[in-house]
Amino acid sequence: MNDLPETPLLDTVKTPTDLRKLKPAQLRQLSDELREEMISAVGTTGGHLGSGLGVVELTVAIHYIFDTPEDRLIWDVGHQCYPHKILTGRRDRIRTLRQGGGLSGFTKRAESEYDPFGAAHSSTSISAALGFAIANKLNDRPGKAIAVIGDGAMSAGMAYEAMNNAEQAGNRLVVILNDNDMSIAPPVGGLSAYLARVVSSSEYLGLRSLASKVAKKLSRRVHQSLGRAEEYTRGMVAGGTLFEELGFYYVGPIDGHNLDHLIPVLENVRDAKEGPVLVHVVTQKGKGYAPAENAADKYHGVQKFDVITGAQHKGPPGPAKYQDVFGETLSKLADSDDRICAITAAMPGGTGVDKFAKAHPDRAFDVGIAEQHAVTFAAGLAAQGMRPFCAIYSTFLQRAYDQVVHDVAIQNLPVRFAIDRAGLVGADGATHAGSFDVTYLATLPNFVVMAAADEAELAHMTYTAAEYDDGPIALRYPRGGGTGVGVPETLKKLPIGKGRMVREGKKVAILSLGTRLAEALKAADALEAKGLSTSVADLRFAKPLDEALIRKLLTTHEVAVTVEEGAIGGLGAHVLTMASDEGLTDAGLKLRTMRLPDAFQDQDKPEKQYDEAHLNAEHIVETVLGALRWNESSKQGGASA
């Protein structure tokens, strides 16, 4: 356990109301204490670290200057909101972050009035803030909407769609661009801060065209006189011009860690009659914690760690992660097939595409937070004879559903979808759960949808997808480590739409899709112990169904149960439809479907989430026994069946 830091000033601040009672000179100390508290908390719980450290001063400044929660503060993605949570009445629970029954790792409306809009996917903040601002305008209510969006999230088209419609919000909308990929050379930084104060003043905001001309002239002069002014020029001229064209008053760039710069600029913006305003703030991810500052990924997401050394507490080594099995398998296949390429949307490490990129850099594409583009880009590659694998988390592929339908399925293009994080995902909670992909893909004509039961099956399915050129094909697999079965040296191409029998029985049939297979086999053992002969099938395919295998199981067993790690409308629904169409339940078959509940499940350990979802072995047994109306007095009859 990390020792709690000493935070005498932070101890006096329970809410932003307390914060606003402080003198400006005290805000530096408060920020330092807030940073220490956040490091200590995340060291205890794990979670997103670098992004929150980068916005400590910005968080303090926003809550100090604006009247939150009446002024609506919306954090894009929400993974940087831990300092915000500490300052908004949740410090006493900050060490429950991302744990069962604890605080969400993202913003969440149900958690606090200071979280006016929930988020965990990127690039939604400006659209939402515009909604708040226009609602206030239409109802003649005071109150501003402040959207804080990172430069990574700005790569998504939705952010520009929102900005293109933002002008009507006027001064009720403030967008803060948190740019942690840019640096400001020290001499330019000082001039930039001065200009930001001038340009955000009420006198200057009214002289928009003149401001643009002055900025251009100043930036040219700075560029000529200072060797490291290129990034400053990019911000003041290129960036400023772009945002001005979209209808914003552009202010910046300014140092997001310098409260002497932030406070007066935000005061000017708050009091401005003109708007909307975009404030360009430059920050450093991981700021103030050396291990995070020095890490390549800036400690984006971490396990529990030792605050003194920064060493993360790793669990004992286990089976290979599914994402690594996919990435390594695809890399090997690409060695002998130059048509194979891989596309990901800002998640190369999370999807295994980083491994592919090391081996085949010219055929790996990280398109940023742009899932819609990723899918249609893959469709174009496929139409030109390539074999593209679009590796995207299930929850993020939802963002490109129209492209999946319109650009891939209707044209029957052979795009391969590697769907990571299928099923429940633990600490990331409902926003990242891969609950719906079987439902939203298996309903589409032309699609093939597979689900891997273990690492070996995933490798076979990756090979099968690579060799399948007849239309779109998807393979889904969960987060985390596999079962330990390993990957065979020789891969086999699976026959499309054919499952496999894993265990033969006579009375009960369990039809499994995906990694619930291990639980299905445990359930079969328990049922056999009760004298109930049980078959277990790994269907492998949600679409097309193995109709011959399903028909055989449904007509030769008394009870059949489908089990899957997805929402209603998936495998179970397709099996029920087939059974209904063919009259397979007319003779008295007891058919049950087991799936995720019709609810968004909060974060917890995955095993607890599946227990809550009633998808573990004991629940399969209960479902079978319930269908048979089994009780202990039935034991003799069951044993003789």
Which helix (H) or strand (E) covers residue 35, if one does? Answer: helix 27-45
Residue 153, annotated as binding a ligand: yes
Is 42 strand, coil or helix? helix
- What single DSSP character describes residue 515? T
Least Cα distance to 77 among 56, 100, 102, 48 occurs for 48
Please report where in the chains the tokens 């139409």 appear, as a residue.
383
Least Cα distance to 146 among 325, 276, 335, 6 occurs for 276
408 in Cβ contact with 472 (< 8 Å) = yes
Residue 152, annotated as binding a ligand: yes
Active-site annotation, residues: 285, 371, 399
Which residues, 6 or more positions from 502, have their beta carbon under 8 angstroms from its beta carbon? 517, 521, 536, 537, 538
Give me the half-sphere count of Cα atoms (radius 13 Å) on the Cβ side of residue 180. Answer: 25
Beta strand 173-179 with 249-255 is unpaired
Is 39 strand, coil or helix? helix
Residue 115, annotated as binding a ligand: no
Please report where in the chains the tokens 């619930």 appear, as a residue.
516
Which helix (H) or strand (E) covers residue 310, if one does? Answer: none
CA distance 461 to 142: 57
Is 401 strand, coil or helix? helix
Residue 180, annotated as binding a ligand: yes
CA distance 520 to 513: 10
DSSP 585-600: TTT--EEEEE---SSP
Residue 322, annotated as binding a ligand: no
17 in Cβ contact with 92 (< 8 Å) = no
DSSP 372-387: HHHHHHHHHHHHTT-E
Is 398 strand, coil or helix? helix
Residue 151, annotated as binding a ligand: yes
Beta strand 301-302 with 47-48 is antiparallel
Beta bridge partners of 391: 344, 418
Beta bridge partners of 564: 513
Q: Which residues are part of a known binding site? A: 79, 120-122, 151-153, 180, 289, 371
